[in-house]
Every structure is written in C-alpha cells, then in structure tokens.
Structure 1
C-alpha cells in the first residue's frame, strides 16, 4: 500500500487551471458560433452585435476567468488536503504492474 501524503498546491492549481481553461474553450467556442449564426438568421436588429460581443467575451475572457478561478480553488483544495493528510496519513492506494497482452 502506498500513501499520497502531499500535493504541491501550485502545481495542482496550474494543472487544474489549464484544464479548466482548455475545456471552456472547447465548449464555449462552438456555442458562441452557434449563437451568432442563430442571431443572424433571426434577423433581430442589434442582436447580432450583442451576440458577437458575447461570443468575443466567451472566446477570450471566459477561459481566462475559468482558469484563474480554478487555479485558486485547486490551490486551496491542495493546501487543505495537505493539512488533513498530516493528521490522517493521507489517501492509501495500491498499484499493480500491468501485464503485457499479446494479440
């Protein structure tokens, strides 16, 4: 049995923040394009400009916002885990060697 007794808070925050920013781009980019197309098809006056502005926000600022907030929360979570792991010994886990499969 092995124990996870320490998580580097900054490293955990960076990894989680980058993943959150990447996922938000993957989700928000197609969504913002879809919103712009729907707005253009509907023909609402001024709606395209508002939708384009929101789309621009979604593509640029939202991933930055999600990345920074996720970094902060992951940093706090790793720090709290380290405090708890000092008292409890951390999470116990077991690893096994993979067997090669000949196909």
Structure 2
C-alpha cells in the first residue's frame, strides 16, 4: 500500500506536468500519447507498483527465513528502564 501511495504522489504531478509540456509543444499526436501515459500513471501504475512490491517483499521474507534457519537470525532484546530515570528533576 505504501508503494502504491507513493507512486500516486509522485506520478500524478508528473503526468500533469507532461500534459502541459505536451500541449505547449508543436508536435502533432504528442498530446494523445501524453494523455495515454497520464491515464496509465494515474490508474494502473499504483496497482503495478503495489503488486510488484508485495511479490518482492514475499521473496525477501522467504530468503531471510532460509538464511535465518542456517545462521540463527537476528537477536533483539529489550528491557524496561527504571522509573527514576524517566523523572525529571526541577
């Protein structure tokens, strides 16, 4: 979801900018191509980025689990701090 959201935030202004630049330029047909790309970037690109990020995250988690079985993984320990350390003295 984060990848899809970031792609919308990045690609929406970019597609508007491309549309403006295409409308200003003198080449014929460039507006239609730019509109097609803009439509793609606003609708399909976030879905594509979200899906591919999900797939690659699954692959990375699978690879980590394979390595963690052989090496023991990452150890992380926490401990509670004493209440006196949190008090501020005036």
Structure 2-normalised TM-score?
0.79
What pairs up with 1:81-96 in 2 under 5 angstroms?
81-95=64-78
- Cα distance in 2 between the residues matched to 1:64 and 1:90: 32
How far is the alpha carbon of 1:46 from its aligned partner? 1.3
Aligned to 1:68: 51
Moved over 3 A (4+): 93-101
Segments of structure 2 that go 5 or more residues without pairing to the other structure are none
**Larger Cα-atom Rg:** 2
Aligned to 2:24: 41
Q: CA 1:44–1:85 in structure 2 vs 1: closer, same or farther (change >3 Å)?
A: same
Specify which structure has the higher proportion of strand: 1
Structure 1-normalised TM-score?
0.70
